[in-house]
Structure 1
Amino acid sequence: MSVFSSALLRSSVATRLRAAGCVFAEDEARILLDAAATPADLAVMVRSRAAGRPLEHVVGWAEFGGLRVAVDPGVFVPRRRSEFLVETAAGLTPEGALVVDLCCGSGALAAALAASVGRPVEVYAADVDEAAVGCARRNLAGVGGRVFRGDLFEPLPGALRGRVDVLLANVPYVPTADIELLPAEARVHEARPALDGGADGLDVLRRVAGEAPQWLAPGGSLLFETSERQAPAALAVVGSAGLDAALSWCEDLDATVVTATRRRGR
């Protein structure tokens, strides 16, 4: 519990954040006050947030899927819309399922999926970024998750080939030319490889889809987010890889998810 209980102090912090452009200044002020151990800590946190650093990087965690997920500076911050990806995957995850989280970032997707299904699952994850791997190892320790550093499937144990029931791949899908249009919180403070999807935003997806059939179990599914604009092209990518694809959309979160399944018998 925070040592700061003054309504006046909370109002002062909120005013500072609001002046810096923080839309949810009151909520953020409460979080910062709860997180700060000393007045000096609070001053540093408020200054950092007002300068544009993501709140999650300032306090070291993000709320996602009902969990508090560790997020270190520079690591991709899990977006709330990705909770729809977890929800969609949960319906395809039986007890004992083998789950892989590629481009895992903080490991938030796999952690939230394991918590959501409430059944034992076997979890593996991989990311090319060292800081992200460190976060994911902490976030997945409670479910026995194994996290590897490397490019997409390359660092995963070969014994997983043909056995993956659920393959989560929150691949970067922002077209390179659109990176500069992103909010500064993402553009400046998150690792560019976690955002940049190449010329049309689908470069990483093509690589994942091309290898996915070798790793998925028969009836296993690859799930990923895409934008509404990119959805037709994304469906074509996974279709050309021989996967049966379906599109889901959540109005509340404005989230678009593709589920691409390896046919049984193939």
Structure 2
Amino acid sequence: MSVTPSLSLSYSLVVGRLRAAGCVFAEDEARLLLSGAQSDADLAAMVDRRVAGLPLEHVLGWAEFCGLRVAVDPEVFVPRPRTEFLVRQAVARSAAGAVVVDLCCGSGAVGAALADALGQVELYASDVDPAAVRCARRNVAAFGGRVYEGDLYEPLPAALRGRVDVLAANVPYVPTGDVELLPPEARDHEPRVALDGGSDGLDVLRRVAAGAGAWLAPGGCLLVETSERQADAAVEAFVRGGLTPLTVADDELYATVVIGLRPR
């Protein structure tokens, strides 16, 4: 990756500051900061924010996700590389023209990635966090997506009931007692509502699974990311919701996804 020539002499200084702050990938981060800075003052401010612990994606204003540059505003959940596995699973089970809903959409990264991969889709998303909704609207606009503010299914158009082919839900699944154990980047700079899944981490997942049947089309599927240790309990929630469950995992990405099919 090239850097702005007028800032190239700052590279070693930036790397040194990032290393001192504990950034494991200091060299890569320095290149990204240099390429994104418009001036020396801009670069200094970006480095200061990163050294202070702000997630790199919030400093840059974007995250790379499924080959897309997704806008990520401050205080909005940063899409994780492991969630690309959920997107791949959804793509494999759908086609162009699908009706897609991205619940707990955060920045809208999952919905945007699905629309990008599938071509023309009917895309909807929702999130309870107003900052996330504003960010997601920017990210899905190019795909004709619509984003609604509210709790899970509540703000979605009633006309979607029984029509959804792909329901992707990257729900919060960190147990309440473990939130304080998260890295400071997440714990201090991402909204708690996007992280805290309740006492066992599955409160939101259970609600999503319980309501999915009313929204899915016959043969449609719900896909939810969870952890390996929570997968069995998640499967039970899917069964109670009338869905036929399947658990898939990617050891390299440390990703676990539970898929639920609505019977035809």
> Which TM class, normalised by the smaller chain length?
over 0.9
Matches within 5 A, 1:1-266: 3-4=4-5, 7-117=8-118, 119-264=119-264
Structure 1: segments with no counterpart, 5+ residues:
none
Q: How many residues align?
A: 263
- For 1:60 and 1:131, locate their aligned partners in 2 and report how far apart those are by CA, in whole Å: 14
Once the two structures are superposed, residues 106-142 of structure 1 have per-residue CA deviations (whole angstroms, 9 ceiling, x without a partner) of: 000011111122x211100000111111111010001
Q: CA deviation at 1:64?
A: 0.4
Moved more, 100-109 or 86-95: 86-95
RMSD: 1.1
Q: CA deviation at 1:209?
A: 0.8
- Which residue type is aligned with residue 147 of structure 1? V
- For 1:76 and 1:6, locate their aligned partners in 2 and report how far apart those are by CA, in whole Å: 30
Structure 2: segments with no counterpart, 5+ residues:
none
Partners of 1:4 and 1:33 within 8 A in 2: no
- For 2:221 and 2:115, locate their aligned partners in 1 and report how far apart those are by CA, in whole Å: 16
CA pair 191-69 structure 1, distance change in 2 beyond 3 A: same
Q: Percent identity?
A: 66
Partners of 2:57 and 2:63 within 8 A in 1: yes
Describe the SS at the equivalent of 1:53: coil
Question: What is the TM-score normalised by the length of structure 1?
Answer: 0.97
Describe the SS at the equivalent of 2:201: coil
Describe the SS at the equivalent of 1:218: strand
- For 1:38 and 1:146, locate their aligned partners in 2 and report how far apart those are by CA, in whole Å: 36
Describe the SS at the equivalent of 1:180: helix
Describe the SS at the equivalent of 2:102: strand
Partners of 2:3 and 2:31 within 8 A in 1: no
Once the two structures are superposed, residues 129-164 of structure 1 have per-residue CA deviations (whole angstroms, 9 ceiling, x without a partner) of: 111111110100010000000000000000000000
Partners of 1:2 and 1:37 within 8 A in 2: no
- Which residue type is aligned with residue 228 of structure 1? E
- For 1:183 and 1:238, locate their aligned partners in 2 and report how far apart those are by CA, in whole Å: 30
- For 1:9 and 1:32, locate their aligned partners in 2 and report how far apart those are by CA, in whole Å: 11
